[in-house]
Chains A and B, each alone.
Chain A
Amino acid sequence: MQDSSARKATDDRATHELFENVTCPFCGMLCDDLEVENRDGALKVLKNGCGRSIAGFERKLPLSRPQIRSKDATLAEAVKEAAALIGKANNPLFGGLATGVEGMRAAMSLAERAGGVVDHALSEGQYRNVKVLQSAGWTTSTLTETRNRVDLLIVVGSDIRKLHPRFFDRIVSPPDSMFDVTAPKRTVVFIGEAPEGAAANGPQVGDTVTLPCKVEQIGEVLGALRARLRGFRVNGKTAGGIALAKIDALAELCRQARYGVVVWAPPTLDVPHAELTVEQAMGLVKDLNQTQRFAGLSLGGNEGAVTAAAVSTWQSGFPLRISYASGAPHFDPYRYSISRMLMAGEGDLLVWIASISPDLSPPSTDIAMIVLGTPGLKLQQQPTVFIPVGTPGVDHAGRLIRCDSVVSLPLKNLHRAELPRVGDVLASIEAAL
């Protein structure tokens, strides 16, 4: 895939390229309005950067070579060794899966061939959503729709700014929006721990309301809100630690909304059975949609998590957590959680793919491990085989699917480093089996 917007100037010693409309692969929002310069292989974000994208694009890559048992090897040797390990494994686990569409396609093909298990590093949060989807269904919105329409935003949980630094600026308070229905100003409600009230400001944000409670209590607050909206009495003066008067005030805000959106970042609802919190949030949306318009919006999708689930679903019928041990996909969202399997001593080889951020460390394990990682990937132990790979959208072109599961974006080759693509390495391993 060509990068037509690259403007390249080369002399004898130095190269300088400027890239426009760059898609950032470092969070699930996939902002695509960045301007990035490459000067002698060092990238600098010139426009529309955020903490995550600057850290991601501008990170200096350490020198990294393929290794077999901590000794330097050629790529061909590492591929051969990886194929040998996969060939003799009875139950290989294909985890991490932080890669683009092409890498995920190759991972599915190899896992199928090897009779392995497929699961993404961030599945736990994503599965809070999948469980609700597969039991109750839901009504959702997307980033552009929310950006232009939302007049009441209810943030469930926190840490949105940490995981998706530009969400508030780009979606909640953009400089411009399409409909006068969003006038006069948008109201933003935060329910959860350490509400990020200050995160929501800007010309389009009017009131902000915070209902501080523990993550475990959010479901209760939402349940009480639903009950009050239906006209039921709620015993006591508080629910989930929030005064009922405040919940009633929120109910009134909901009734007044023209297009309300309930947003959450799945990794932050990190308590047991938080799918019930997601279910309450989606239940609120369902209740309100009977007479007015409301929608949910799940963020997340960092490290290619939404991409992995989408490719897995269209190729196998199931959103990850499948085993190909029988040759056909077998789906079990409990049994084929790779983190659970490793703790239970199941599986005899871990193939870990982490091509996007250096923080997606493989879990510590006693079983043999093949890692396809971005150079500098934090490792708690030396894997049996390590193969440095390029980051899609930085070292090579590719595609990722955004957090809302609708939009996918093309990723440019910014010519940072000459590193092989995950898809090509996995295809070579499959060919060598």
Chain B
Amino acid sequence: MVIKLSGGKVYDPANRVSGEVRDIYAEDGKIVAAPADGRVAQEYDIKGRVVMAGAIDPHTHIGGGKITIARMLLPEDHIKDEVARTDLTRAGTGHAVPSTMVTGYRYAEMGYTACFEPAMLPANSRQAHMEMGDTPMVDKGAFVMLGSDDYFLRQLAAKQEFERIKDYVAWTMHSAQAIAVKVVNPGGISAFKFNQRKLDLDEEHVYYHVTPRQIILTLARALKELGVVHPLHVHGCNLGIPGNVESTLATIRAAEGLPLHMTHTQFLSYGTEGDRKFSSGAPRVAELVNKSPNISIDVGQVLFGQTCTASGDSMRQYAIGKSAHPKRTVIMDIECDAGCGVVPMRYRDKSFVNALQWAIGLETFLLVEDPWRMFLTTDHPNGAPFYTYPHLIRLLMDKSFRNDMLQKINRDAAAMSILPTITREYTLDEIAIMTRAGPARSLGLRDRGHLGLGASADITVYRDNADREAMFATPELVFKNGELIVKNNKVVKVTQGATHVARPAYDRAIEGPLKTYFDRYHTVRMENFKLTDEEIIDGDRGSIVVQPTRPRVS
């Protein structure tokens, strides 16, 4: 059955299409050429509409234990955003940390068709996938966390042969069903368990005597040589600490040309200038990113209101807990594997610190020149819930709107920011890159994020509207695999997306020492630690897409 979308203005930067009027055809879930006989089963007249591939969120905390802790921690945050069941959709709740089904519906209603959970602990991967299995509408995938797990740190400390470390990284990706690898406060989550309260880039872990620099370089090189497309996803040292711009810059320099993705840099771009010893480091970070083609970033934009931060960074979340609103936090040490910290946060536009965080995020967006290396995120829910994306897009595309908002924030913060001097306005092409083509390319999603022949028919149709917030908040049509799932901003069909994984090659002999390690120290058997395909396919009624990796090299 061929469907045709006629007459839309297509923004498909991966295929160098910029606002041209084109017809799009889809059949059996894929974008196809115009049928030779011209017959189509259904035609959608979308003349004058803006057409893009379905949007992709490359960093959104949608599944896993810490998100369920956040849901449980703040019952009052769900109240007044309860969602009733309909004949089509399940019930749930929304606001800062929505329930799984509501997450899927609201992402789709915003034109998103894929979401990636960036902080899946190996020990919690089964639950993370179960939660993603209960997140309908969108494709999903997850980045598995390494770098504070005792197995890796022991290998690094013992100067284990590098090929074996690569085997372990690849084994973990397989066993946790991951598409990429993230490191969070490298070594710091483990160090916190030894009562270290800070771990700078070249500071030694008290027990393992390795440094964050070594951990980052080892993992980044391992992923590159394993052929994993997405570079090491780095949540750096010193998150939230004034002056952390120095360690962020040092981390980028430390990469020595290896590809790195620096995530939610807003939280890691703080200087110490001014009366309050808190200032923007965004211009310096942007300048170095612009000069470093091996680096990509996402921002983790802060927007004002109540939210809840949830991170694997137990060390820093413990420290940030003193700013919690409301005053209750959860910190966990987890399984000689990782940790987590859940800290509710209310960002206020009249707070100097929060207002400057807002400005630092926007400065980062506007000063980094290459949209292919910059992804649009709020680090949901850490900077703000994902529903704020349309507002954020308007801030980026509309300078006068941005300046109006700037008038509302804390005066001292506004005075310290260079934001008023920045005239850049994002174009629709750039938005399409940042929210579709860029994340797809970075994550190695061959058939997502573009509208070329053979791509998955994940398509979003917007009414062109000078108010970009209204435009991006209310897509007219959203197609998933060629099926209409959202019409006029409302779900019309519930569908189950696929789970994307990457499976680099490894030597199965690694399971010998791993089994010994699990048997000696763990409370879970290695055999049960591994998450099977059947659990996702039968247990969660899902499906798996194995995205390609490059050949492993040494």
Interface residues of A (CB under 8 A from B): 1-2, 5, 20-21, 23, 29, 31-33, 101-102, 105, 109, 112-113, 130, 133-145, 147-149, 170-171, 176-179, 181, 258-259, 289, 292-293, 295, 309-310, 313-319, 324, 326-331, 399, 401, 405-410
Is B23 engaged at the interface, CB distance under 8 Å to the other chain? no
Cross-interface CB contact of B82 among A33, A105, A330, cutoff 8 Å: A330
**24 A-B pairs, CB-CB below 8 angstroms?**
A1-B532, A130-B72, A141-B333, A144-B522, A145-B336, A149-B333, A171-B523, A181-B194, A289-B331, A313-B71, A313-B72, A314-B67, A314-B130, A317-B78, A317-B97, A318-B71, A326-B82, A326-B84, A328-B84, A329-B91, A331-B79, A405-B69, A406-B335, A408-B126
- Asked, given contacts A144-B523, A176-B520, whether A293 binds B328 with beta carbons under 8 Å apart, the answer is no
- Please determine whether B85 and A289 come into contact, CB atoms closer than 8 angstroms: no
**B197-237 to A contact mask, C-beta < 8 Å, 1/0:** 00000000001000000000000000000000000000000
Q: Would you give the shortest CB distance from A356 to chain B, in whole angstroms?
A: 18
Chain A residues with CB under 8 A of B520: 176
> How far is it, in angstroms, between the C-alpha of A329 and the C-alpha of B102 when the chains are bound?
12
Question: B residues engaging A (CB < 8 A)?
Answer: 63, 65, 67-69, 71-75, 78-79, 82-85, 90-93, 97-101, 121, 123-124, 126-127, 130-131, 134, 150, 192-195, 207, 318, 321, 324, 327-337, 342, 520-525, 527-528, 532, 534-535, 538-539
Do the beta carbons of B130 and A101 come within 8 Å of each other? yes
Contact: A407 with B318, CB < 8 Å?
A: no
How far is it, in angstroms, between the C-alpha of A33 and the C-alpha of B525 when the chains are bound? Answer: 7
* Set of chain A residues within 8 Å of B327, measured between Cβ atoms: 137
Q: Are A316 and B91 in contact (CB under 8 A)?
A: yes
Residues from chain B with a CB closer than 8 A to the CB of A2 are 532, 534
Q: Is the interface of B mostly helix, strand, loop or mixed?
A: mixed
- Contact partner of A144 (CB less than 8 A), chosen from B73, B90, B207, B335, is B335
Q: Are B330 and A138 in contact (CB under 8 A)?
A: yes
Q: Please determine whether B99 and A317 come into contact, CB atoms closer than 8 angstroms.
A: yes
The contact of A259 among B193, B337, B523, by CB within 8 Å, is B193
Nearest A residue (CB) for B128: A408
Q: How far is the CB of B311 from chain A (nearest CB, A)?
A: 15
Q: Is the CB of B83 within 8 A of A5?
A: no
Q: A113-B85, A259-B193, A293-B193 are in contact. Are A144 and B337 (CB under 8 A)?
A: yes
Main secondary structure of the interface of A (DSSP, over half): mixed
Contact present for A293 and B194 (CB under 8 Å): yes
How many angstroms between the C-alpha atoms of A196 and B532 in the bound complex?
Answer: 40
Measured between C-beta atoms, what is the minimum distance from B454 to chain A in Å?
33
Q: Which residue of A lies closest to B339 (CB)?
A: A145
Measured between beta carbons, the chain B residues less than 8 angstroms from A407 are: 123-124, 126, 335, 523-524
Q: Are B318 and A148 in touch, CB under 8 angstroms?
A: no
The CA of A181 and the CA of B318, in the complex, are separated in Å by 22
Apart from the given pairs A21-B527, A405-B68, A409-B126, 9 other A-B contacts in the complex at a CB distance below 8 Å:
A102-B539, A142-B123, A149-B193, A313-B71, A314-B134, A316-B93, A324-B85, A327-B84, A328-B91
Q: Is the CB of A135 within 8 A of B521?
A: no
Q: A178-B521, A315-B92 are in contact. Are A399 and B126 (CB under 8 A)?
A: yes
Question: Are the C-beta atoms of B335 and A134 separated by less than 8 Å?
Answer: no
Q: In the assembly, what is the distance between CA of A171 and CA of B335, in Å? A: 12
9 closest Cβ contacts across the A-B interface? A317-B93, A327-B84, A137-B328, A328-B82, A328-B84, A317-B78, A144-B335, A139-B331, A143-B523
Residues of B within 8 A of A331 (CB): 75, 78-79
Given contacts A314-B99, A410-B126, contact A293 B330 (CB under 8 A): no
A138 CA to B240 CA in the complex, in Å? 21
Q: Are B90 and A5 within 8 A (Cβ)?
A: no
A318 — which chain B residues lie within 8 A by C-beta?
A: 71-72, 75, 78, 93
Compute how far the CA of A329 lies from the CA of B90 in the bound complex, rounded to whole angstroms. 10
**Within 8 Å CB of A149, what residues of B?**
193, 333
- A1 touching B539 by the CB < 8 A rule? yes
A258 CB contacts on chain B under 8 angstroms: 194-195
Q: How far is the CA of A133 from the CA of B71 in the complex (A)?
A: 11
Q: How far is the CB of A29 from chain B (nearest CB, A)?
A: 8
Chain A residues, Cβ within 8 Å of B521:
144, 147-148, 176-178
Contact of B195 among A137, A147, A179, A293 (CB under 8 A): A293
Residue from A135, A171, A295, A314 in contact with B71 in the complex, judged by beta carbons closer than 8 Å? A314
Cβ 8 A contact of B193, one of A134, A135, A137, A145: A145
Give, as a whole number of angstroms, the nearest-CB distance from B225 to chain A: 28
Interface centre among A137, A140, A399 (most CB of B within 10 A): A137
B521 CB → nearest A CB, Å: 5
A23 in contact with B528 (CB, 8 Å) = yes
